[in-house]
Amino acid sequence: MDSRGEVVFDDLPEGAYWPIVDADSLPTGYAPPGLQSTESPADLPGFFRTEVVITADAPHQEVTLVVSKGGLVHGYVRDNTGRGVAGVEIRCQATTPGLEGFAFDTRSDDDGYYVIDRVRPGAYWIELFVTDDDLRSLARPAPHEFELFGGESLNKDLLLGAGDCRVEGVVVDQDGRPFPALVVLAYYTKALGSEGPRLSRNNQAARTTTDSNGRYVFDGIYATEAPVQLGIQVAPDGYYSGREVGANLLGARVERIAIDLRPGQSIQARTVVAHRSRPFHLDGRIELPEGASLAGLRVFIIHPPPRIPEGVETPNGVIVRRDQPRIEEDGTFEWSCETPRDPFTLQVVRGSAKYEEELLPIPGETLFLSVPFPTAPN
């Protein structure tokens, strides 16, 4: 590269190339062009790596690559006692139009210290991601936006569980009984001090579990003078994956609660109703004619097709889901499912012969069913 920043590659054979700036060759603090995300438009020439195609018709190509003097974001992650927290992921997510695909990540060290260097100038969210189960109950500060300038060193200390708000509530099942051992999530639906995009559950404020009385508590939630909406949501599956399978499965997703939160508030959220799943069990027996063979006999449980919202075009090639229970030597078979759910079709097939029956799973019940041996149509 010459003093004007120009470099020439001669006699390249035909093909596709990616000109890449070696980050280690740049002056301290400078960042090379990055990979372009599908979220980022192509109207910022030079900020992204550009593919160059050399052909016999186009043997000469000119490419501009932009290097930026980056900034530095650093600080400590501490818990509500002031202790440094190790292993927390810190992300600076770009929000500058055209650069939304850029994110800079690091993890806090054993003392809770983190540093992210070569961060491109622009606007960012700063977010925390906690994976340690012992820390997930400590509320994280809501992601907030900041501006970083080239060469700037910005200190951002981040505290877990040090907010001054408290939110508590109760989860019951469809019979009004307390629902224990359910995972409950709290997450900010707006970033503090910004009219930016809504955030997903991936950016949780905290996570906890209901006690034996179905009660949950979130302490140390953050707020500012501007109202911040907090979403309270029972986890989609309702339970930790390590628990006994099926112990706390939910029969339906639970509508989230939206709470407008201000500093210093202690809020009793409205009671959440979570429908406890009650398994349905099918005990079937195929009526075998005397001397009949099980050869070629099959049983299928045909699931209903996915529901397509009104006004949405039905996709082509919708896959039909089905289960195939095992048929025992005496013609019996078993199948079970979680409820509530839509009716399904029981199908018994042997060659061209087929018997079908639509059945509705009844929560908590076992259905004993005698099924005719399929006969070929006349």
Q: Averaging pLDDT over each range in 36-45, 158-167, 304-313, which range is the top one?
A: 158-167
Question: Coil, strand, or helix at residue 201?
Answer: helix
b/e per residue, 234-271, with b = 16+ CB within 10 A? bbeebbeeeeeeeebbbbeebebbebebeeeeebebee
More confident residue, 309 or 375: 375
Q: Is the pTM of this model over 0.85?
A: no
Q: List the domains of the chain with CATH numbers.
A: 1-159 (2.60.40.10), 165-273 (2.60.40.1120), 280-372 (2.60.40.1120)
Instruction: Give the chain's mean pLDDT.
Output: 77
Cα 375 from Cα 297, distance rounded (Å): 11
Is the separation of the CB atoms in 361 and 341 below 8 Å?
Answer: yes
For 117-167, the DSSP string reads EEEPSEEEEEEEE---TTTTTSPPPPPEEEEE-TT-EEE--EESS--SEEE
- Within 10 Å of residue 128's Cβ, how many Cβ atoms? 22
Burial (0-12, 13-18, 19+ Cβ within 10 Å), 29: middle
- Within 10 Å of residue 193's Cβ, how many Cβ atoms? 14
**pLDDT for 103 beyond 60:** yes
DSSP state of 234: E
Question: Coil, strand, or helix at residue 93?
Answer: strand
Q: Within 13 A of 30's CA, how many CA atoms are on the CB side?
A: 15
pLDDT bucket at 42, cuts 50 / 70 / 90: very low
When mean pLDDT is compared across 90-104, 230-244, 248-262, the lowest value belongs to: 230-244
Is the separation of the CB atoms in 92 and 103 below 8 Å?
Answer: yes
More confident residue, 202 or 110: 110
pLDDT bucket at 153, cuts 50 / 70 / 90: very high
Supply the Cα-derived Rg of the chain in whole angstroms: 30
**pLDDT for 199 beyond 50:** no
More confident residue, 8 or 37: 8
**pLDDT for 355 beyond 60:** yes
More confident residue, 36 or 101: 101
More confident residue, 349 or 186: 349
Percentage of the chain surpassing pLDDT 70?
74
- Within 10 Å of residue 107's Cβ, how many Cβ atoms? 13
